[in-house]
Structure 1
Amino acid sequence: MLGLFLLYVWAGPTQAQTLNAWQLEEARDLAAIGEQAAEKGHPVMLLFTRLRGGGAATLKEEAILPVVENGLLDGYAVMLEVTLNSGGEVIDFYGEPVSKQTLADWYNITKYPTLITLDPSGEEISERMETAGAYVYVPHRIQKMVNQGLAAMGQSKRLSF
């Protein structure tokens, strides 16, 4: 019994720190990301969110971060976040700085959170996920979006979990 307690004390905080450290990388330079995606033959996924708005934080914690942080997208897609009301600019797929709101306007993002799949040049290539519905289905929806993107890019590989 003491052994289990000591294991909990030793492993518990480490696990909590790991979960708290899980973050979705904020989009900064989409031109560079697009070049890397073209070399690797995989799509780019952008999650558009707002600070303190909608269910974005819960969606990320409950459904998206476990997929990303467990490496389920590795070799198939890269996912980045665009937080609209956090200030700053993003380098677009053409190498030009634009506001995050301008980027959202280009993709006609009107609901938050919204996840889109793009080819390496920035063209939308699959159905999108606007809001989320039941979080238990989000990994399946991500898998479907990635596979639609891979098919649109002429790739034969498919994501399966």
Structure 2
Amino acid sequence: MLRLPSLFSSFHAAKGLRLRAVLQGAWVAAGLALGLGLAGLAQAETYLPPARDLQSTAAQAAARHQPVVVMFSLPGCTYCERLRKSTYQWLVKDGYVVRQVEMDSSDRLLGFDGKPSTGKALARHYGVKLAPTVLFLGPGGREVAERLEGAGQPDFYGAFVDRALKQAELALGARPPVGTAPQS
């Protein structure tokens, strides 16, 4: 009978060591997963020029007979990032005037009237409550096309942007590109 408790206790001791090793391994794995997850969050978002001086931005867009495309977003918004990457960075490369406004930001910017404002105040002014929301704005910050709220259907989002750009350009009296016949 003396051997039984010693076998029993050595079995439990070995089992305890295995459990401890498994738990330590789990903590290491959880730490690695957390570290990799945070590293993923730390990756830079796709760059869109921030709104700093919307009055001069509007003048720049007006010279091109284009709207100012303003994307209201939030830090860490995966839908915002998807649209920046799939659509809006390409508009910038194509020569459109696109600006991003962080809708929860208290950072100073100049509004369309040249007065100091913030991302929060601008979002409140335009009634933006959802990220992403994209506005197509003309002189004085007037909406010249239907706004796009949310990420929409990814397969059709580009068509919605194209429609809004055409609507905005018509409202702004944009000239047709050289070499195209006027449509009747």
TM-score, reference length from structure 2: 0.66
Q: Please tell me whether residue 48 in structure 1 is matched to residue 78 in structure 2.
A: no
What amino acid does structure 2 have at the position aligned with 1:29?
D
What amino acid does structure 1 have at the position aligned with 2:102?
T
Q: Please tell me whether residue 129 in structure 1 is matched to residue 152 in structure 2.
A: no
Which of 151, 168, 176 is the matching residue for 1:149?
168
Aligned equivalents of 1:100, 1:112: Cα separation in 2: 12
Could you tell me whether the CA contact under 8 Å between 1:54 and 1:112 is conserved in 2? Answer: no
SS of the equivalent of 1:126 reads: coil
1:112 maps to what in 2?
Answer: 131
Q: Which runs of 5+ in 2 are unaligned?
A: 1-43, 178-184
Aligned equivalents of 1:107, 1:47: Cα separation in 2: 12
Which of 61, 69, 88 is the matching residue for 1:64?
88
TM-score, reference length from structure 1: 0.74
Aligned equivalents of 1:58, 1:111: Cα separation in 2: 15
Between Structure 1 and Structure 2, how many residues are aligned?
Answer: 134
Q: CA deviation at 1:83?
A: 1.2
Structure 1 ranges of 4+ moved more than 6 A: none
Identical-pair percentage: 26
Q: CA deviation at 1:133?
A: 1.9
Q: Which runs of 5+ in 1 are unaligned?
A: 1-19
What amino acid does structure 1 have at the position aligned with 2:91?
V
Q: CA deviation at 1:85?
A: 2.9
Using CA pairs under 8 Å that are at least 6 residues apart, name the structure with larger relative contact order, 1 or 2: 1
CA RMSD between the two structures:
2.0
SS of the equivalent of 2:146 reads: coil
1:90 maps to what in 2?
Answer: 109
Name the one with the larger helix percent: 2
What amino acid does structure 2 have at the position aligned with 1:57?
E
Could you tell me whether the CA contact under 8 Å between 2:49 and 2:100 is conserved in 1? Answer: yes
Aligned equivalents of 2:169, 2:176: Cα separation in 1: 7
Q: CA deviation at 1:84?
A: 2.1
